[in-house]
Amino acid sequence: MRKPNNSTRRQFLGLAGGAAVIGAVPIVTLRPAEATPAMLATAIRNVVGEAEVRTGKVKLDVPPLVENGNTVPMTVSVSSPMTPDDYVRSIHVFNEKNPQPNIGNFYLGPRAGRAQVSTRIRLADSQKVTAIARLSDDTFWSVSVDVVVTLAACTEEAI
């Protein structure tokens, strides 16, 4: 009498487990697409080409802890004399985990006087933000900053 009971319980558990696994799949696929490290690498390659990217010269000011990922103030500055012979051509900002790896490209010139740009960005998750500067001698310099986001952008539904 106990044996058949036992086997139904086992069957039930097996079915329930299977259902849980099947149920988990749509949850995973419903998540918004994330930029993968490969996408980030490709986006950076599109900007720098084959050139070597060195660390330094660039300063990225982002609050380390962000409450609202929908507007995150960001300032990028590059230490450069900004003379006609030695200036910053462009600044490119990337992220790791938003749906797209690009944040913005900013093109300056020697007339800028100071190589500094500020804007407000969106961050979909706690992640690394990378800024790359291209100088007039076509060298690339980068910096990366980790940001913790409590309320992510892009998660709320539009009405």
Partner 1 sequence: MPSALINVPRQAKRGDIIEIKTLMSHIMETGYRHLASGEVVPRDIITSFSCRYNGTEIFRADLFPAIAANPFITFFTTATESGKFEFEWIGDKGFSETASASISVE
Q: Which uninterrupted H or E stretch holds 99? A: none
Among 8, 36, 71, 150, binds partner 1 (CB under 8 A): 71
Using CB under 8 A as the binding rule, the residues of this chain from 26 to 55 that contact partner 1 are 32-33
**Min CB(138)–partner 1 separation in Å:** 18
* Per CB under 8 A, 66 contacts partner 1: no
Report the distance separating Cα 118 and Cα 73, nearest Å: 7
Which lies closer to partner 1 via its Cβ, residue 12 or residue 107? 107
* Cβ contact 54:137 at 8 Å: no
CA-based nearest residue to 140, from 62, 71, 69, 46: 46
**Min CB(157)–partner 1 separation in Å:** 6
Which lies closer to partner 1 via its Cβ, residue 9 or residue 45? 45
Using CB under 8 A as the binding rule, the residues of this chain from 96 to 155 that contact partner 1 are 98-100, 102-109, 111-123, 154
**Min CB(93)–partner 1 separation in Å:** 8
Query: What does the angle CA 67 – CA 73 – CA 79 come to, to the nearest 5 degrees?
Result: 135
* Cβ contact 106:117 at 8 Å: yes
Burial environment of residue 1 by CB neighbours within 10 A (0 to 12, 13 to 18, 19 or more): exposed
Range in contact with partner 1 (rule: CB under 8 A) among 6-14, 21-29, 53-61, 95-103: 95-103
Q: Which residues here bind partner 1, judged by CB under 8 A?
A: 32-33, 70-72, 95, 98-100, 102-109, 111-123, 154, 156-159
